[in-house]
Amino acid sequence: MEFSIQDSQLLATKGLINGQWVDADDNSTVPVVNPATGEQLTDVANMGAAETRRAIEAASDALPGWSDLSAQKRSTLLEAWYDLVMENQDELAAILTAEQGKPLFEAKGEVAYGASYIKWFAEEARRVYGDIIPAAQPGRRNLVVKQPVGVVAAITPWNFPSAMLARKIAPALAAGCTIVCKPATETPLSALALVALAQKAGVPDGVINLVVGSRSADIGGEMTSNPIVRKLTFTGSTPVGKLLMKQCADTVKRTSMELGGNAPIIIFDDADLDQAIDGALVSKFRNSGQTCICSNRLLVQAGIYDRFIERLAEKVGQFRVGNGLEESTTHGPLVSEKAVTGVKALVDSAVADGARVVIGGDSGEQGSCFFQPTILADATPAMGVFKEEIFGPVAPVFRFESDDEAIALANDTEFGLAAYLYTNNLKRIWKVSEALEYGMVGVNETAISSEVIPFGGVKESGQGREGSKYGLDDYLETKLICLGGL
């Protein structure tokens, strides 16, 4: 199946500032490339600091009107946006696959996943409750109200270009904030299509603004230094997140950071092996391993270690790698040649240190952005595949003996986003779940993410939570109003 992106009704190539589609000030552009074929899909505006500043000012101008709207009206507009996203799910998915590479069925799932956050926060917009606190002195009343934090800046990644944008815009708008967004250089088209639908749904000019291009340092620098911006939300790597937090410190901005991961999946001897293998396959190889919560390290108890690897390899051998727009494809390319080089270096280093390639282990034959789904046996904690976020279709399998050893191995990382375990022992479930230093733990389940759960990590995996009833907290200020003389 071939998709001509030029035929898309949702194709936008300019930034959106105050409701107007605009080019870069210097009319420069940057190409968007299909990683599966190397084809240049189109060019988009290559914006910088000046355009970002105007987008921030537009968001500031729109803030009073948007925040003064009733919660019911904001909810209605978000519902309308959700309906349009789902009506255009197939076209949005095709755009996503063309620029990002993931199989079309995964892209459709991502569009629906992102839309679920729009729907959720449309409902939560009407549930921003305050409080009355009993006063310490007579004649007083203490009222607590929640107000929007103000103008929000959002920076989103290339691995889930539709869902991550929706997951940030929806709560911001529900809380009464306005927003300026910067999507990843590699995948701007999904973001542009989404905000075009928001505009069509009736979201007022200036409430959502989008700046695109490859001048990430200039755009990010303006977002972090501009005092009008009161909150920055970022999904991406830990090093970049740390830099943004430092830059935000000068104006004491609120920050939400969803950063890197190094997720362990612990499989105990008493686990349902079929269930554990299915969970590992979904978690490790979804989006060709390019997810922050994928199983980066497979920790398998000694009693089932060899059997687990044999069964896992049988399943991986059935994968079909190729262009995501082809129906037979189960796994697409990595996002770039640079990504393939990084994954290959980690695999080669592990093999040099004694790991055994069970299946895969090399670049794919389909093109320069492909890498074979890979299983590495006899992996050890001294290897780079234990310490680093692989972000590719590589499953290193580590052996452990006891519960305490598994916990120690799992926690031996600066990251703490997601972790998983498989066991049928109830005592072990509680012991291990509570001992794991992670923001999210899946027990006999790896598909844990949805709009109803608080998504986020601890340690160097970030701060704040997205989704669930907690998802509005980072977009709201808590204000005390003390009434005296009563």
Same structural domain for residues 254 and 315? no
- pLDDT for 460: 97
Instruction: Please count the residues of the chain.
Output: 486
Q: Looking at residue 350, what DSSP letter applies?
A: H
Whether residue 179 has pLDDT greater than 50: yes
Task: Report the alpha-carbon distance of residue 279 to residue 52 in Å, rounded.
Answer: 42
CA distance 124 to 275: 34
Catalytic machinery residues: 258, 292
Q: How far apart are the first and last CA of the chain?
A: 72
279 plus 171 within the same structural domain: no
Question: d(Cα 401, Cα 9) in Å, to the nearest integer?
Answer: 56
Residue 456 within a domain: no
CA dihedral 437, 247, 187, 385 (to 10 degrees): -40
Mean predicted confidence (pLDDT) in 325-330: 94
Compute the average pLDDT of residues 407-424. Answer: 98
Could you tell me if 297 and 408 are in contact, meaning their C-beta atoms sit under 8 angstroms apart?
A: no
pLDDT digits (tens, 9 = 90+) for 418-464: 999 999 999 999 999 999 999 999 999 999 999 999 999 999 999 99
- Do 63 and 178 touch, CB atoms closer than 8 A? yes
Contacts within 8 Å (CB) and 24+ apart, 122-125: 122/74, 122/75, 122/76, 122/78, 122/79, 122/82, 122/170, 122/174, 123/75, 124/171, 124/174, 124/469, 124/471, 124/472, 125/71, 125/74, 125/75, 125/78, 125/173, 125/174, 125/175
Residues 229, 115 share a domain? yes
- pLDDT above 80 for 4: no
C-beta of residue 223 within 8 angstroms of C-beta of residue 232:
yes
Single pTM value for the model:
0.96
Looking at the domain assignment, is residue 486 inside a domain? no
Say yes or no to pLDDT of 7 above 80: no
**Structural domain contains residue 436:** yes
Residue 477 lies in a domain: yes
| Whole-number pLDDT of residue 3 | 53
Residues 230-251: pLDDT tens digits? 999 999 999 999 999 999 999 9
- What are the tens digits of pLDDT across the range 155-169? 999 999 999 999 999
Looking at residue 296, its amino acid is: N
Same domain for 239 and 285, yes or no, is no
* Domain-located, residue 455: no
User: Are 238 and 363 within one domain?
Assistant: no
Q: What are 203's two structure tokens?
A: 């979201």
Over pLDDT 70: what percentage of the chain?
A: 99
CATH code, domain with 349: 3.40.309.10
Kindly report the CATH number assigned to the domain that includes residue 252.
3.40.605.10
Percent of the chain clearing pLDDT 90 (strictly above)? 98
Q: Which of 297, 294, 344, 286 is nearest to 100 (CA)?
A: 286
271 and 341 both lie in a single domain: yes
pLDDT category at 365 given cuts 50, 70, 90 is confident
Burial of 346 (0-12, 13-18, 19+ CB in 10 A): buried
Verify that 240 and 308 share a domain, yes or no: no
Q: Do 207 and 92 sit in the same domain of this protein?
A: yes
Highest mean pLDDT out of 3-17, 159-173, 358-372: 159-173
Structural domain count of the chain: 2
Determine the pLDDT at residue 199.
97
In a domain, 368, yes or no: yes
Gap between the Cα atoms of 365 and 307, Å rounded: 29
Residue 37 lies in a domain: yes
Residue 20 belongs to what H/E stretch?
Answer: strand 20-22
How confident is the model over 61-80, as a mean pLDDT? 98
Same domain, 428 and 353: yes
Question: Is there a domain that residue 27 lies in?
Answer: yes
441 and 294 within one domain: yes
- Pair 183, 297 in one domain: no
Same domain, 247 and 283: no
pLDDT for 1 equals 46
Question: Which residue is listed with tokens 């050893």?
Answer: 405
Q: What is the pLDDT of residues 11-65, one digit of tens each?
A: 999 999 999 999 999 999 999 999 999 999 999 999 999 999 999 999 999 999 9
CA torsion through residues 431, 389, 450, 423, sign: negative
Q: Which domain holds residue 442?
A: 263-412+418-450
The three-point CA angle 449-456-324 to 5° equals 45
